[in-house]
Amino acid sequence: MYHRGTIRRKPLHNKSLSMMTVLGLASFSSVFTSAEELSIGGVDISGFLDMSVSNTDTDDQGSDQVIALNSANIRLFSQLDDKVSLQVRMAGGDETEFGLEQANITYQATSELSLFAGEYLSALGWEAYHDPNRLQNSFSAALVYPAFISGAGAKYKTSGFEIYGSVASGVWDSPFADTRTDDIGWEAAARFTAIDNLTVFLGAASGQISDEVNFDRTVVNLWASYVMGGLTLAAEYNDLTDFAFEGDDGDSWLLMANYAFNQDWSLTLRTINPVSVYI
């Protein structure tokens, strides 16, 4: 699938226009990720645990240590035949109950073209809903794109670019048991990777926030990343239309640098302009 992550959490919204800077040090907050894979009866089983340990020292209250299970994810994958595959994901953590997260089927029409349907992760966003891919153990307040989508779509992929599009019964709020068909939303994206180490992504999504409103929330998401050795640089910009109500327009952006000293230690510096719309 054409997706960066697997973990669903609510975005952190902030009305302030001030800049925010986050410095992530492994010595202050450590993240453990484990991934294993096995096969039983033609079903590949894999997953990960993402855990963090944080310690806060204050002059008058002493120290406080918190051990958290940020996310647990189990993936079941089966290649039903040469062209058809099925994926199911279960996820949960300290903040969310463990349950069904995704279930989708993919038909590989050609080596470049694939068709898919079900519940799947949005293609939008540099800081996607996937703890290991975020390069730090916190969400940016610039994260405003959809999480999981109920619908169907297609992806066309070559060595230098990908294009993707889907129609959905729920772009912004689509639990398995509550899909909507009265107002179909959509998502579309293109990813360019023809230049070594450089990725440029442009995407957009639009759809109703809920059944109670008659307007569509729209976000246009642009990001680029450059990887050179242990250094990763990224920049993202989001343009928002009718975000909380009609006429509620705004934007958000982030700049991020990450340097991996080795497999276990890395340093992240992130500065953001939070969501500049009314929440």
Model confidence over 89-129: pLDDT tens digits?
A: 998 888 778 888 889 999 999 999 999 999 998 999 887 76
Its pTM stands at 0.78
State whether residue 268 is helix, strand or coil: strand
Is the pLDDT score of 163 beyond 60? yes
Cβ neighbours of residue 154 under 8 Å, at least 6 residues apart?
113, 114, 115, 116, 164, 165, 166
Is the pLDDT score of 10 beyond 60? no
Rg (CA), the chain: 19
pLDDT tier at 184, thresholds 50, 70, 90:
confident
pLDDT tier at 138, thresholds 50, 70, 90:
low
Which residue, chain included where needed, has tokens 């990720």? 33
Chain-centroid distance, C-alpha 75 = 16
| Dist CA 254 CA 236 (whole Å) | 5
Question: Which token pair is 100?
Answer: 């069904």
What's the confidence (pLDDT) of residue 18? 34
* Residue range 158-177: mean pLDDT, rounded: 82
Tens-digit pLDDT profile for residues 33-85: 444 578 888 899 988 887 777 778 777 777 888 888 878 889 999 999 999 99
* Residue range 269-277: mean pLDDT, rounded: 80
Is the pLDDT score of 155 beyond 90? yes
| Dist CA 262 CA 234 (whole Å) | 20
Question: Which token pair is 152?
Answer: 């169907």
- Give the number of other CB atoms < 10 A from CB of residue 61: 8
Single-letter amino acid code for the residue at 276: S
Going by the DSSP 8-state scheme, the letter that residue 243 receives in this structure is: S
State whether residue 131 is helix, strand or coil: helix
* Residue range 186-206: mean pLDDT, rounded: 96
List beta partners, residue 53.
30, 67
Percent of the chain with pLDDT over 70: 77
What's the confidence (pLDDT) of residue 278? 62
Whole-number average pLDDT of the chain? 80
